[in-house]
Amino acid sequence: MSPIGAGMKQLHDLRLKLREISDQLERGPRQIAARKQHIDKKKEELEAHRAKLKQLKVSADQKNLQLKSSEGRIYELNGKLNIAANNREYEALRSQIAADTMAKSVLEDEILEALEKVDASQIESKKFELEVAKVEAELQQLIATVQEKEAGLKAQAAALQTQVAEAEQVVPPDLLPQYRRLVQAYGAAALAPVVNKSCSECFVSVTAQVYVELRAGKVRFCTCGRLMYVADDE
């Protein structure tokens, strides 16, 4: 392998490593953002459950108040019954009490049903609360793990950047602007080894002439724009 080929390979390998480290650095915050979005959704669901529970409690309370007033009314009617002036009044009061007692019994059933709904809703809300607490704890764990890794990854990236800058000395100075533009556009894929006499990025065969030049240590760009090099086992 020509010294330029070897230098290009080293530069390419370093850029690939740097890309891997940069990807890892970006992955953490992306995971955290996705998890936060998931938690926000769960919290919205929890709020909806709480609102439903509150509404069920209000409804049960209202029915309880109705029951109290119904009981009061029946008590009053019974009082009147004891002092009824005549048989007609007595019978009228009795049938009124019977009707009110029937209504009261229906109301009691409704209250029982409402309280069962409150209980079920309470259980469901509690379940959601626990779920939110669990995913929030998992998020904190994830943030800690990401932060723990971040410092090491940043140090690795900085070291690689220095190595890349040194390895870039292999690029002839007059080709540096073109090389920079390529890196801007393709990152680590700005460089492409020739494999089976083809560019490894676009798979187009290089001409015999270009191949000979590459082996002789000349710098050549592929028609796809990449900076090509010939590795030792090619």
222 binds Zn ion (CB under 5 A): yes
**Beta carbon of residue 5, minimum distance to Zn ion (angstroms, whole number):** 16
230 binds Zn ion (CB under 5 A): no
Task: Considering the complex, state which of residue 99 and residue 185 has its C-beta at the smaller distance from Zn ion.
Answer: 185
Q: What part of residues 185-204 is at the interface with Zn ion (CB under 5 A)? A: 199, 201-202
- Residue count, binding to Zn ion (CB under 5 A): 6
In the complex, which residue's CB is closest to Zn ion?
A: 199
Q: Name the 3-class secondary structure at 198.
A: strand
Task: Considering the complex, state which of residue 130 and residue 195 has its C-beta at the smaller distance from Zn ion.
Answer: 195
Task: Considering the complex, state which of residue 13 and residue 201 has its C-beta at the smaller distance from Zn ion.
Answer: 201
**Beta carbon of residue 7, minimum distance to Zn ion (angstroms, whole number):** 20
Q: What part of residues 128-187 is at the interface with Zn ion (CB under 5 A)? A: none
Q: What DSSP state is assigned to residue 174?
A: G
Angle at 116 between CA 112 and CA 119, to 5 degrees: 140
Q: What part of residues 26-45 is at the interface with Zn ion (CB under 5 A)? A: none
224 binds Zn ion (CB under 5 A): yes
Stretch in the footprint of Zn ion (CB under 5 A) among 29-37, 151-159, 175-183, 220-228: 220-228
Nearby residues of 18 by Cβ (< 8 Å), 6 or more positions away: 157, 160, 161, 164, 188
Task: Considering the complex, state which of residue 217 and residue 225 has its C-beta at the smaller distance from Zn ion.
Answer: 225
C-beta separation of 183 from 161 below 8 A: no
Stretch in the footprint of Zn ion (CB under 5 A) among 53-61, 88-96, 123-131, 221-229: 221-229
Angle at 29 between CA 24 and CA 35, to 5 degrees: 120
**Beta carbon of residue 219, minimum distance to Zn ion (angstroms, whole number):** 14
Q: CB under 8 Å, gap of 24 or more: what pairs does 8-13 form?
A: 8/170, 8/191, 8/219, 8/227, 8/229, 9/193, 9/229, 9/231, 9/232, 10/167, 10/170, 11/164, 11/167, 11/168, 11/170, 11/171, 11/191, 12/188, 12/191, 12/193, 12/229
**Beta carbon of residue 224, minimum distance to Zn ion (angstroms, whole number):** 3
Q: CB under 8 Å, gap of 24 or more: what pairs does 152-155 form?
A: 153/21, 153/24, 153/25, 154/25
Task: Considering the complex, state which of residue 93 and residue 206 has its C-beta at the smaller distance from Zn ion.
Answer: 206
Task: Considering the complex, state which of residue 144 and residue 202 has its C-beta at the smaller distance from Zn ion.
Answer: 202
206 binds Zn ion (CB under 5 A): no
> Footprint of Zn ion on this chain (CB under 5 A)?
199, 201-202, 222, 224, 226
